[in-house]
Amino acid sequence: MKFLNSILIVFTLIFLTFTSCKKDEEQAKPGNVTIEFDHVWGSTEGEFSLNSELTHPMLGEKMTFTTFKYYVSNVRLKAKDGSYYTMPESYFIVDADVSGSNKAVIPNVPAGEYTDVELMFGVDSTRCSSGAQTGALDPAKGLFWSWNSGYIMVKAEGKAPTAADGSFAFHLGGFKGVNKVQTTKSYNFGSTALVVDGDREAEIHMVANPARLWHGAEKLAVKSVNTMPNALAKSMSTNFYDAVRFDHIHN
Amino acid sequence: MMKRIIFLLFFTMIWSYSCQNDQDELDFGLTYPDYFPAPHYQFGKNTLTKEGFELGRSLFFDPILSLDSTISCASCHAQGHAFADHNVALSKGIYDLAGTRNSPSMFNLAWQPIFMWDGGINHIEVMPLAPITNPVEMGQDMNTAIQKLNNNPSYSNRFRKVFGEKPIESQQLFYALAQYMSMLVSADSKYDKYRQGKVELTLDEGDGLQIFRAKCASCHKEPLFTDYSLRNNGLEILNDDLGYGRITLDTTDNHKFKVPSLRNVALTYPYMHDGRFRTLDQVLDHYSNGLVYHTNIDPLLVQNNIIGIPLNNDEKQKLKAFLNTLSDYTFISNPLYSE
Ligand code: HEC
Ligand code: HEC
């Protein structure tokens, strides 16, 4: 018994020395990284906001958004050495109606230099099919279909005088098969790396353009409602995602 | 010495206490016969407890989840009818509004991989979202439902006891209801007692079982009496309900519906997704000579270019005798499941 005890003490001591050694080496502290999504309208990148009348450059139709939101998830940062920092539980709703929601904050990113950000637009199929979720994935957020399980990954609603009943509603989702709406994108920061070090600011600025949803889509006079997983949901969301671009970083 | 005794005493206490807990957990769990497959729902992060189950049971019987607090889950899913509706074709929700499909029975849901007649719901935990928010069922916004629960001192206490110190969230509501629903096990019918070697079937029932195995069991698979697949069984098209096709948008899935379990079938009339048949005789007549050809009709129902399952009157009587052995009177009167 005595012998066992002393072995235990020795091991504990060794363990403690090792762990404390490691702490001394890491001087730089982990910090937060913010991914900011700025919304612009059309190829001129004009101002986009809810409840104000916009004209779609391609459709030529007037539209006033009352809702514009989408999911961003599974954020990973690529470090200079090629390794990744993966944010646990990273699910965000970017909602034009909720100020600050366009900033996805990734807390506790290990200090270091990062060259790329990888993220998913939409929600992964696992979380679409593993039962009741919380946080941004809480079905009470109104973005989970009750009749056909899965998340509405992009929701755009509003008024349009040319549409059949004067309004439009696009709920784009679907996580299986050819029409799945979630997609992973990666953006390189170019020559300057994103530096994470404690309280130092680290921001990634992205630009998203909701007009792109109708890039090649039919006029609202023809099609103003789509609220199920299908080919149109796939093409509209793909056009929107593909046009999201990296703008700059703020160190 | 004294110290040692106290120490030992302390240890025995902890040990016996933890044993006690284990015992409770053992006593309270999903139990089922050995000829059942492993359940599909494994609870995951939703730890099954007696208190969680009881909370789910209270919620199931409480109209608080509906907009005007008049309709509970039990309004359309009654234990005496194996949790189907009270023998009506289409259930009524708030303001007497009617839906378009028959309320299915509810049991052995822990084995069920998909829900609804069209299989549109993929998980037992998110199942209640549909009835709670459906405008013709309970018609309530989820946020309002959660707020009503948080404002209710008894519920907020009970939720805290089960899920810890936080305000009630939808996940907790879904977890509690999933605990209750998945504990609804029906496995004590005469058929089960026969499988367990406790009783004999009558001659007719035994013949009926053989006919069933030959002609029905490929879809209504034992021991759960469904294989949970989506198929077209040749019902005449009476409305624009596309069934599974609505979910997949694939026309080859149009008018396919989930194969329902036939356990407790004598108690759950009327039958089919729209409740069109009132009696088992009508169902059997449908299979023997009422099938209507559909491009998506299940190939099992077309033999040698003839659609339907040949059944003479004698076979129908025997099948019916067998189907009656699937009624589980222990289940429909089990106080554990009652309000
Ligand atoms: C107004 C009547 C009504 C109410 C109230 C109601 N249901 Fe239902 N339930 C139905 C109908 C009708 C269906 C079939 C719907 C379909 O297939 O589209 C159904 C289907 C289900 C199913 C799927 C069964 C299967 O085999 O696929 C479950 C589980 C269920 N309900 C649970 C609940 C719970 C839990 C509640 C309360 C939160 C509830 N129901 C409230 C009518 C109701
Ligand atoms: C090819 C697969 C298949 C075979 C074989 C089959 N069924 Fe069915 N059965 C179904 C499907 C699918 C439904 C649901 C159809 C619907 O509602 O649209 C169903 C529904 C039923 C129902 C209604 C249950 C309820 O709760 O509403 C009964 C009863 C039934 N079948 C009995 C039988 C009997 C008895 C046989 C053998 C003579 C049989 N079935 C053979 C697929 C099958």
- CB within 8 Å: A131 and B129: no
**Tens digit of pLDDT for each residue in A114-161?**
999 999 999 999 999 999 999 999 999 999 999 999 999 999 999 999
For residue B14, the model assigns a pLDDT of 44
Instruction: Identify which of A139, A148, A249, A239 has the alpha carbon closest to the alpha carbon of residue A190.
Output: A249
Question: Measuring CA to CA, how many Å separate B210 from each of A239, B75, B300, B332?
Answer: 58, 37, 18, 27
For the CA atoms of B44, B112, B140, B257, the dihedral, rounded to the nearest 10 degrees, stands at: 150
Q: What is the C-alpha to C-alpha distance for residues B302 and B147, in angstroms, rounded to an integer? A: 53
Q: What is the C-alpha to C-alpha distance for residues A199 and B219, in angstroms, rounded to an integer? A: 62
Token representation of residue B84: 């189907």
- CB within 8 Å: A140 and B123: no
Q: Mark residue A245 as left, alpha or beta (left: phi above 0; alpha: psi -120 to 50; beta: remaining).
A: beta
Domain B190-330 CATH class label: mainly alpha
Which residues pair with residue A33 across a beta bridge?
A106
pLDDT above 90 covers a percentage of chain B that reads 89
For residue A14, the model assigns a pLDDT of 53
- Prior bond to B270 cis, omega within 30? yes
**Tens digit of pLDDT for each residue in A82-125?**
999 999 999 999 999 999 999 999 999 999 999 999 999 999 99
**Tens digit of pLDDT for each residue in B156-215?**
999 999 999 889 999 999 999 999 999 999 999 999 999 999 999 999 999 999 999 999
Neighbours of A35 (CB within 10 A): 24
Q: What is the C-alpha to C-alpha distance for residues B278 and B265, in angstroms, rounded to an integer? A: 12
Token representation of residue B50: 């007696």
**Tens digit of pLDDT for each residue in B100-127?**
999 999 999 999 999 999 999 999 999 9
Residue B294 CB contacts under 8 Å (≥ 6 apart), including other chains = B232, B234, B237, B255
**Is the shortest distance between the CB of B218 and ligand 2 below 6 Å?**
yes
Neighbours of B296 (CB within 10 A): 18
For residue B26, the model assigns a pLDDT of 47
- Provide the pLDDT confidence category of residue B19 given band limits of 50, 70 and 90: very low
**Tens digit of pLDDT for each residue in B263-310?**
999 999 999 999 999 999 999 999 999 999 999 999 999 988 899 999
Q: Per-residue pLDDT for A4 more than 80?
A: no
Which DSSP state fits B15?
Answer: H
For residue A12, the model assigns a pLDDT of 55
User: Using a CB-CB distance cutoff of 8 angstroms, which residues of chain A are in contact with residue B163?
Assistant: none
Is the Cβ of A133 closer than 8 Å to some Cβ of chain B? Answer: yes
Q: Where in chain B is the domain with CATH 1.10.760.10?
A: 50-186+332-337, 190-330
Q: What is the C-alpha to C-alpha distance for residues B118 and B247, in angstroms, rounded to an integer? A: 7
Q: What is the C-alpha to C-alpha distance for residues B228 and B246, in angstroms, rounded to an integer? A: 17
Instruction: Give me the helices (H) in chain A, please.
Output: 2-25, 125-128, 231-242
For residue A78, the model assigns a pLDDT of 98
What average pLDDT does the structure give for chain B? Answer: 93
**What CATH homologous superfamily does B50-186+332-337 map to?**
Cytochrome c-like domain (1.10.760.10)
- CB within 8 Å: B170 and A140: yes
- CB within 8 Å: A229 and B46: no
- Minimum distance, in Å, between the CA of residue A125 and any CA atom of chain B: 12
CA of A160 to the centre of ligand 2 (A): 47
Is the Cβ of B48 closer than 8 Å to some Cβ of chain A? Answer: no
Question: Taking the model in full, what pTM does it have?
Answer: 0.91
- Residue in B46, B120, B170 closest to A149 by CB: B120
Helix axes B203-215, B313-324, angle to 10 degrees: 100
Instruction: Identify which of A33, A34, A47, A45 has the alpha carbon closest to the alpha carbon of residue A245.
Output: A45
- CB within 8 Å: B143 and A131: no
Q: Which residues of B57-92 are buried (b: 16+ CB within 10 A; e: fewer)?
A: bbbbebbbbbbeeebbbbbbbbbebbbbbeebbbbb
Question: Measuring CA to CA, how many Å separate B226 from each of B123, B183, B298?
Answer: 17, 18, 15
Which residues pair with residue A173 across a beta bridge?
A152
If residue A47 lies in a helix (H) or strand (E), which one and from where to where?
A: strand A46-47
For residue B130, the model assigns a pLDDT of 97
Residue A212 CB contacts under 8 Å (≥ 6 apart), including other chains = A239, A240, A242, A243
Is the Cβ of B120 closer than 8 Å to some Cβ of chain A? Answer: yes
Q: What is the C-alpha to C-alpha distance for residues B39 and B56, in angstroms, rounded to an integer? A: 19
Among protein residues, the one whose CA lies closest to atom 40 of ligand 1: B73
Relative to the alpha carbon of B226, which ligand is closest?
2
How distant is the alpha carbon of residue B206 from its chain centre? 26
Closest chain A residue to the Cα of B249, Cα to Cα: A230
Q: What is the C-alpha to C-alpha distance for residues B287 and A94, in angstroms, rounded to an integer? A: 53
Tell me if A114 sits within 8 A of A149, measured CB to CB.
no
Q: What is the C-alpha to C-alpha distance for residues B281 and B266, in angstroms, rounded to an integer? A: 11
**Tens digit of pLDDT for each residue in A154-201?**
999 999 999 999 999 999 999 999 999 999 999 999 999 999 999 999
Question: Measuring CA to CA, how many Å separate A221 from each of A56, A163, A218, A237?
Answer: 13, 4, 8, 20
**Tens digit of pLDDT for each residue in A223-233?**
999 999 999 99
Among protein residues, the one whose CA lies closest to atom 6 of ligand 1: B73
Mutate to test the interface with A, among B65, B121, B122 (most CBs of A within 10 A): B122
Relative to the alpha carbon of B119, which ligand is closest?
1
